[in-house]
């Protein structure tokens, strides 16, 4: 799998990771967890490392912590989670609980989820970073309507990471946020690169571009992911999945060459035509 540098340190990060929203919110039964174990095994085996979670995602943090511990995978994983509450003390309690659930003394990336009380939490996170409790700090949102506020926070606070929505069908981030992240030296994690499956459902049985096979793309998921990664400002995409076959399919998109600017423009025109 290809890797790209985290601008603030130069550390190399694999370009495909795993989001845990919904799919990792399961109980403790082996039947429920076996498939998720296979998802992570597939990702690690393909060279991936990024696992993104949140207290908002039900049991996901606990499930990730249990799986990483049970398989001795902590050293393979770049674990990102979030703080999603109001107030300094509540934020500290929630972040400490996340560390406990993830079974880690230090998390790789702690993000302010959907910019909730970001001024308060970023101050705490800078303290935690200096103490070695987090390696990187960031901010997130998942809707284009929040991009103006996200841009303001990026400019004023210059976090290590920004997580945002970007896909073939939702390209607003191309206009300002992705160029800004590149200018500021900020890593970008893309959430919803497949629009939570909506993009795949809308494409149905439409034929892939004739040149897709040159990039080992056999499915629309691979084409859509490779489109996102063809923007060099993107550090990593985190499609959520609980299916190991889908994880393997996603990882293929992170290998080999990426699309040219002309091929990306062809995909934009195709998408716009379909949406009318």
Q: Which residues pair with 140 in a beta bridge?
A: 163
Alpha-carbon span 38 to 44, nearest angstrom: 10
Q: Which pLDDT score is estimated for 118?
A: 98
Q: Which pLDDT score is estimated for 204?
A: 76
If you ran DSSP here, which 8-state letter would residue 142 be given? -
Helix (H, G, I), strand (E, B) or coil at 148: helix
Alpha-carbon span 51 to 118, nearest angstrom: 22
Alpha-carbon span 140 to 133, nearest angstrom: 20
Q: Which pLDDT score is estimated for 274?
A: 80
Strands (E), 29-186: 50-52, 78-83, 107-112, 134-140, 161-165
Q: Which is it for strands 236-237 and 78-83: parallel, antiparallel or unpaired?
A: unpaired
Where the chain has pLDDT below 50, the residues are: none
Q: Which pLDDT score is estimated for 270?
A: 94
Q: Which pLDDT score is estimated for 197?
A: 87
Q: Which pLDDT score is estimated for 180?
A: 98
Q: Which pLDDT score is estimated for 77?
A: 98
CATH classification number, 3-275, choose in 3.40.640.10, 3.20.20.100, 3.40.50.720, 3.40.50.450: 3.20.20.100
């Amino acid at each position: 799998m290809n890797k790209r540098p985290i601008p603030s340190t130069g550390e190399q990060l694999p370009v495909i990771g795993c989001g845990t929203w919904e799919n990792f919110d399961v109980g403790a039964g082996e039947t429920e967890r076996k498939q998720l174990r296979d998802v992570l095994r597939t990702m690690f085996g393909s060279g991936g490392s990024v696992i993104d979670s949140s207290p908002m995602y039900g049991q996901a943090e606990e499930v990730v912590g249990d799986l990483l511990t049970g398989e001795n995978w902590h050293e393979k994983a770049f674990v990102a989670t979030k703080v999603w509450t109001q107030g300094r003390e509540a934020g500290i309690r929630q972040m400490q609980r996340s560390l406990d659930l993830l079974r880690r003394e230090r998390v790789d990336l702690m993000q302010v989820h959907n910019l909730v009380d970001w001024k308060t939490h970023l101050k705490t996170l800078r303290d935690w970073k200096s103490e070695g409790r987090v390696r990187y700090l960031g901010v997130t949102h998942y809707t284009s309507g929040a991009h103006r506020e996200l841009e303001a926070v990026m400019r004023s606070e210059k976090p290590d990471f920004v997580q945002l929505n970007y896909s073939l069908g939702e390209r607003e981030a191309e206009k300002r946020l992705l160029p800004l992240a590149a200018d500021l030296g900020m890593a970008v994690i893309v959430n919803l690169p497949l629009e939570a499956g909506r993009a795949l459902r809308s494409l149905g049985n439409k034929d892939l571009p004739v040149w897709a096979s040159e990039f080992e793309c056999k499915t629309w998921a691979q084409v859509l992911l490779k489109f996102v990664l063809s923007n060099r400002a993107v550090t990593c995409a985190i499609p959520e999945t609980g299916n190991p076959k889908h994880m393997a399919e996603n990882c293929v998109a992170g290998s080999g060459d990426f699309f040219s600017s002309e091929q990306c423009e062809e995909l934009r025109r195709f998408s716009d035509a379909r949406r009318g």
